[in-house]
Amino acid sequence: MLLLISPINTQEAREAIAGGADIIDVKNPKEGSLGANFPWVIKNIREITPKDMQVSATLGDVPYKPGTVSLAAAGAVVSGADYIKVGLYGTKNYSEALEVMENVVKAVHEFNDDATIVASGYADAHRVGAVDPLEIPRVAADSGADLAMVDTAVKDGKTLFDFMDEEKISQFTTEIHDYGLKSALAGSVTKEQLPLLAELGCDVAGIRGAACIGGDRNSGHIHHEAVASLKQLVQSL
Ligand SMILES: O=C[C@H](O)COP(=O)(O)O
């Protein structure tokens, strides 16, 4: 299992790199669960990140606007991201989500054929009217993406497991593996939950809160010691 850590600026990115994160996921929590950051932040973080380490960028909790979202995807790739995450927030069903993802895949591949593309749904999709998370593996596979992910849309202390039980998570990871693709799981995941995530077939664990001092994704800051302790655990699994 790989450890994806979500910094908001270069200072936090340095901490995540020093702590041994596998993927540096540039994010802007002020704009939501998968909030997008600015192109210059992505560019600056790419510049300080070792070349063999992937830099991810979230495009936001995106609306059902395939043109807008594919333009954002192109912007993220041009800014240096080689791992593109799309939060399918404003898409209500499989066909809307597929339309957005197909256009993102096309836009990303115009600039970088090797980039990794992640279709992300939300475990608590019912709270915001988004597409059912169990549709995401099919959306990822049919659109040509590389990973299917779930996160939580509302960051109010509830975790992934408050909305998806072990059986549903397993169903999600098994389906995406059957397509020959990978799974990513997030949603206020704690260090203690990492062994269970690995057991349930998680290929990439996405974390911000648990990598921050005090464990708060908004008021805290990523610290290399917290990241190193997560990484040590992940490596032992
Ligand atoms: O991509 C993963 C997210 O950054 C997870 O953030 P969180 O651990 O604060 O829910």
Sorted by where each starts, the structural domains of the chain and their CATH numbers stand as 2-236 (3.20.20.70)
ipTM comes to 0.97
Distance CA 129, CA 151 (A): 15
State the pTM of this model: 0.96
With a 6 Å cutoff on the Cβ, whether 209 touches ligand 1 is yes
- State the distance from the centre of ligand 1 to the C-alpha of 144, rounded, in angstroms: 24
With a 6 Å cutoff on the Cβ, whether 203 touches ligand 1 is no
Annotated catalytic residues are 27, 85
Residue to substitute in 5, 12, 27, 222 for testing ligand 1 pocket (most ligand atoms within 8 angstroms of CB): 27
For the chain, give the DSSP string.
-EEEE--SSHHHHHHHHHTT-SEEEE--GGG-TT----HHHHHHHHHHS-TTSEEEEEEEEE-S-HHHHHHHHHHHHHTT-SEEEEEE-S--SHHHHHHHHHHHHHHHHHH-TT-EEEEEEETTGGGTTPPPGGGHHHHHHHHT-SEEEEE-SS-SS--HHHHS-HHHHHHHHHHHHHTT-EEEEESS--GGGHHHHHHTT-SEEEESGGGBGGG-TTT--B-HHHHHHHHHHHHH-
CA-based torsion, 42, 208, 101, 117: positive or negative: positive
- State the distance from the centre of ligand 1 to the C-alpha of 205, rounded, in angstroms: 9
Q: Tell me the pLDDT of the chain (237 aa) as tens digits.
A: 999 999 999 999 999 999 999 999 999 999 999 999 999 999 999 999 999 999 999 999 999 999 999 999 999 999 999 999 999 999 999 999 999 999 999 999 999 999 999 999 999 999 999 999 999 999 999 999 999 999 999 999 899 999 999 999 999 999 999 999 999 999 999 999 999 999 999 999 999 999 998 767 777 899 999 999 999 999 999
Nearest CA to ligand 1 atom 2: 206
- State the distance from the centre of ligand 1 to the C-alpha of 139, rounded, in angstroms: 21
